[in-house]
Structure 1
Amino acid sequence: MSIKSMSFLFLVLFCLISQVSAYSSDDIEWESVKTVTLHWGDSYKVDNYVITADDFNKDGYAYITIYKDNVYMTAGALKLSDNVVYRDTANGDDIKVYASALSLKTDSWTGNLIDPTVKVQIYRRGLPDLEVKLNIEKDSYDPTRLSTPRFIEGNVTIKNVGDAKATNVVLNVDTAGLELADGKLTQTTPSLEKGETTKPLAFKLQIPLLWDEEDFKIVAQAAAIDINNDKHVFNGTKTITIRPKSEIILTKSCTGKIYMDQTAYVSLVVRNTGPYALNSVLISDIQTDDLELKDNVQTKKTISVNAQETTTAIEYTLKPIKPGKFTLPKATAKFTVDGKEYTFESDAPTIEINGPYIVLEKKVNVSSFNPGDNVLVTVSVKNEGNRDANVKIEETVPEGTRFVSGVMTFDDVVNNKKPQSFSYVLKLEKEADMKLPATSAKFVDMEGYKGEKVSNMPEIALKVASGQDTTSDGRSGNAGSSSSGKAQASSGTSDEVGQQPGFEAWVLVIALIAVMKFSRKGQN
């Protein structure tokens, strides 16, 4: 082989070796992993490496062997402050073992070592670690508000918080489609030492005008090369919210507190916060069962609202039905753009209604009767409101009945903690189904609020005996039957005692028998 050929071969080999082993152990920035004390024969595992204290001698040496994946890599006889390094030229998984302390006591009689130990610090090749800080001025942007900035302003800084230098640090900012208004979105830094921070990369982004609220995830990505020519990628992210360019603010307000004899005023105010006019905005309000709408006002209305305009869309009044605290339903504003409907809701105001609320209930103790039967009538008086009231009741004796006993008047203060009642007995004399009249009560409270309430009307059916026909007015065809007569006799209230059916026939039979007996005696 000629000298030129050999020179060329050595040059190729040198280039190959240089590419594989681009740095020496002296160039490595080490990261401390663990400090351990090893006795004679002890081992300690770090990642794929095993460090073993194979031997000691009295001259002050500890023999350390390094294995990787159970394969011998290198060894060294370490005195205090010595180290052994294995340079992994293939993968860059370099490791260093440093002897920080030795214990080599000997037996005075035998001269042998007594439990020798070595304290070693284990290092591996340090790596760069880039902290990417992406700073955005605000978390959300609302183009409809004057206080919102004109642009989305941000900046990115990179700090090397790792254990080795980073080179060729390239930064790219992904704006998630937001348009750059000013500044840059890329930056290259030749090298970044441990603890060093790059200059800020500043930028401004346009605020888009959207019909729907949308989130944008901005990503700042930094890529760097380490001493082994390995690439490392690091990210910093920030999500911002862009509000719609037009928004309806619908405010529903209501009188906060009223009395039972007052009315509540409700209004719906619409504000278009955007820079564009909105046409055909449908305002809808839902009514509650707790209050009554007065004057049949329409609670749906279609309006147009100019940019930045505020207008009152609907006004109406409500009449209370009963006392209490109630939450009114939310109203809605809807409009359609490009075939898509947008809906905005109002708040749900509350209203407090004060006053008494009298409830009457009339009961009877029977469901059917015979003429002459007694019935017990009970009237219950309750106040379901939040104010006491004086209640007055004067009952009258219904047609077809007679008063027997009890109390037919009521005059007392009734509150919501204790219902009250009174009772009386009536005799039912009508020979038909009966419907008792409603009880009427008048009330007044300390505020001067007064009113009148009526009860239900209990019904009692006339009993019909088995096999009897019923007339069109509901009376039995033999209302003067023995069963009725016995009931009247037992009650002791009838003016006349009814005759038994067939009485005259029995008298005639007895008279005939007497005549026949007298005739026989005359013949004898």
Structure 2
Amino acid sequence: MLKRTCSIVTLNGIFKRYEPHKKRLMYLKRIALAILMVLFLTGTSSAADDFQYEEIWVHQGVFDLATGDRASAEKYTVKLHEINKDENRFSATLLLYVEGEFRKSFFVDDSLNNEFIHEGDLTVRTLSIDGTKLTLELYLHEYELVWIPSESRKFAVEDMAQVDNTAIRLLNVSDNVATLEVTINEKTYVDEYETNGYKKYSDDILLRVTYIDRNNKEINLQLYQPGEPDFKIEINDLGEEYSPNMPASFEIYLKNTGTIPARGITITASASNGQLDPVSYELAMLDTLKIHKIPVNLTLPETPVKENIMIDVNVDGYDYMGNNYRDSTTAQTIVEPYISIEKAIDTHLLKEEDKTKRKIIVEMVVYNNASIGHEVNIHDPIPSTFMPVGVESADWTVFIGAGRSENIRYKALPTVAGVYELGPAIASWYSQGETYSVVSDGAAVTIDVEGTSLEVEKDVSLSDVFTGEEVDVTVTITNIGKSDVEVSLTEDIPAGFRFVSGEDNWEGLLEAGDKKRLTYTMLAQEEGIFDLPPAMVPYTDEDDIQGTFESNMVRLYVYSLEPADMNIESENTKIDNEPLSRGEHASFLLSAFATIAGVLSIIPLIAYFYIRRSH
């Protein structure tokens, strides 16, 4: 006793010496108490969760077996030995193997003997038998998570709730006991629950009371229902486009986003054109939140035209009761024609100080991804003012072997300043009675060519003239380039015309953006059709580079009209239209009467000769 007192005194002395640490010790005690409470609650929860697991028969799949075929589920294999016919009914003899070793044979039919159970671990259930095949299901006995929390509700006395085909009502709360009335499928159960008490009422619902408030006569009720698997399926790593006969692949991504494992899973893939490997894949089980990836190789078709390829993937699986779950997804890719062309334009030489060296470099690659060779025509539509260097034209015909390519490289010299858009190149070929063509990839390239550019136009005041008539000719020169130039113009008067007046020649400086208009008059002297030649405009730019621009050609129609002929025709017309005198009228009437009388006197004579000849 004395020692204990001394100890207490000593401890009190220590606490007095370390008075500042009292609050810290109290804080540590509270933390320790909180940790103990958490551990206690965690242990209680873990123990309570055990009821969510059950010993169940897990569906392994449906199998169609002909004689000699096998169905497997983990270590068990069932083989159809033979099908027997007894009167109008069929039966079968099956053989059971465990880990590859024969164990026993057993007899089944599709009536009373349709189920065989081996050592409480395997169930073979026969669904149907005919003369050619037997259809059966396999089940394995396992301990597995079944019940998944669905929702939690607060109930007061006499509160009622409907969950699917189940009606729940709280009848009473007395001390630590809650009385529930549960009606399911027109059958009523009345049960008492303590905290964390639970009961299964059917294969579809299980109830658990998680808290009882005896003061307010309320409870918290947790509902549990059987879990379900759920599939999320995707097609990953599929390119937007491929060339024929080039390696192509993608990945099938499958995840079970449900609450229980999925079993007996089959994944099938198909393509609208081309071949897939594999086209189907089987997976025995996929646990909750687990992911399975399947690589698939895609062999693309040889096609002369661009074609869309649709990829479809379907997944089919079951839960432990054999309920079916499905999902599908679709993706698209493009297979390019087996002939393709690429074009690149290098414009760095356009920056050369020496304008005579300013060129573009065009590089093209033509691919033949077919399994046979093809003769291919290549056309590069460069502007007419670009002069190919080292080649006669921007057109080629080449033979390209299977799986090979052809490179084409050339230079082109811009001869006229301006802004030009260089479009894609075109490759065309002939195959099986059809002509196909493709254009090179990439957008058009815009090129700004510096230098001299003149626009020359020739026009006339009349295109149809008569000899002796004058016509005005106008020549307009416009400097649409980016540099000032010295220009000259001398017009030649064509044969059949005579210069009358105006300006038919000129030379001088024409600044960028300026315009010069010359007009002169010619007299038409000869009849005919005349083509006025283009106006030729030589120029010299600031770098002493010389050239010539020309205008359009103009056609004139010249008609001849003689004055003497016009006077004679007028006189004749005048005489014919003059009125007759009285004497001329009488003379005309007398001559007309004599003519008619003569005709009438001849008619009887003609009739006489005709009758005589007939006799």
1:30 aligns with 2:126: no
Structure 1: gaps spanning 5 or more residues:
1-11, 106-115, 463-471, 481-524
Answer whether contact 2:231 2:257 (CA < 8 A) is retained: yes
1:44-443 to 2 correspondences below 5 Å: 44-53=161-170, 55-57=171-173, 59=175, 62-67=178-183, 71=186, 73-78=188-193, 80-83=195-198, 85-87=200-202, 92-102=203-213, 104-105=215-216, 117-129=218-230, 161-164=257-260, 169-172=263-266, 174=268, 178=276, 186=282, 188=284, 211-212=302-303, 221=315, 223-226=317-320, 229-233=321-325, 247-248=338-339, 250-252=341-343, 256=347, 269-272=365-368, 278-285=372-379, 287=381, 290-291=384-385, 299=395, 301=397, 303=399, 305-306=400-401, 309-312=404-407, 323-334=418-429, 336=431, 345-347=439-441, 350=445, 352=447, 353-362=449-458, 379-393=475-489, 399-403=498-502, 409=506, 411-415=508-512, 418-422=513-517, 439-443=535-539
Answer whether contact 1:67 1:73 (CA < 8 A) is retained: yes
Q: For each residue in 1:293-351, what CA deviation from the matched residue of structure 2 results, as whole angstroms up to 9, or x when unmatched?
A: 77865935352x445554457979687566322223422153647x8887665446747
Structure with a larger share of its residues in strand? 2
Q: 1:372 to 1:412 in 2, by over 3 A?
A: farther
| Percent pairwise identity | 16
* AA of the residue aligned to 1:120: L
* AA of the residue aligned to 1:384: I
Q: How many residues align?
A: 409
* AA of the residue aligned to 1:283: N
Mapped to 2, the partners of 1:165 and 1:455 lie a distance apart of: 85
Mapped to 1, the partners of 2:358 and 2:380 lie a distance apart of: 21
2:52 is matched with which residue?
Answer: none
Q: For each residue in 1:443-500, what CA deviation from the matched residue of structure 2 results, as whole angstroms up to 9, or x when unmatched?
A: 23334333233445778999xxxxxxxxx645756999xxxxxxxxxxxxxxxxxxxx
Q: 1:130 to 1:101 in 2, by over 3 A?
A: farther
Answer whether contact 1:392 1:442 (CA < 8 A) is retained: yes
> Once the 2 structures are TM-superposed, how far is the Cα of residue 32 of structure 1 from its aligned partner?
1.9
Q: SS of the counterpart of 1:399? A: strand
Higher relative contact order (CA 8 A, sep 6+): 1
* AA of the residue aligned to 1:411: G
Structure with a larger share of its residues in helix? 2
Mapped to 1, the partners of 2:359 and 2:557 lie a distance apart of: 44
* AA of the residue aligned to 2:207: K
Question: Which of these residues, 521, 524, 540, is aligned with residue 444 of structure 1?
Answer: 540
Answer whether contact 2:378 2:425 (CA < 8 A) is retained: no
Mapped to 1, the partners of 2:492 and 2:332 lie a distance apart of: 77
Q: 1:400 to 1:317 in 2, by over 3 A?
A: closer
* AA of the residue aligned to 2:425: K
Q: Say what the alpha-carbon RMSD is for the aligned residues.
A: 5.9
Mapped to 2, the partners of 1:230 and 1:58 lie a distance apart of: 43
Q: 1:409 to 1:208 in 2, by over 3 A?
A: closer
> Once the 2 structures are TM-superposed, how far is the Cα of residue 76 of structure 1 from its aligned partner?
3.8
Mapped to 1, the partners of 2:554 and 2:244 lie a distance apart of: 67
Answer whether contact 2:312 2:329 (CA < 8 A) is retained: yes
* AA of the residue aligned to 2:377: I
Mapped to 2, the partners of 1:66 and 1:187 lie a distance apart of: 40
Q: SS of the counterpart of 1:446? A: coil
TM-score by length of 1: 0.54
Structure 2: gaps spanning 5 or more residues:
1-111, 124-138, 568-615
Mapped to 2, the partners of 1:437 and 1:342 lie a distance apart of: 43
Q: SS of the counterpart of 1:163? A: coil
Mapped to 1, the partners of 2:268 and 2:387 lie a distance apart of: 56
> Once the 2 structures are TM-superposed, how far is the Cα of residue 358 of structure 1 from its aligned partner?
0.8
Q: 1:479 to 1:266 in 2, by over 3 A?
A: farther
1:463-478 to 2 correspondences below 5 Å: 473-474=560-561
1:503 is matched with which residue?
Answer: none
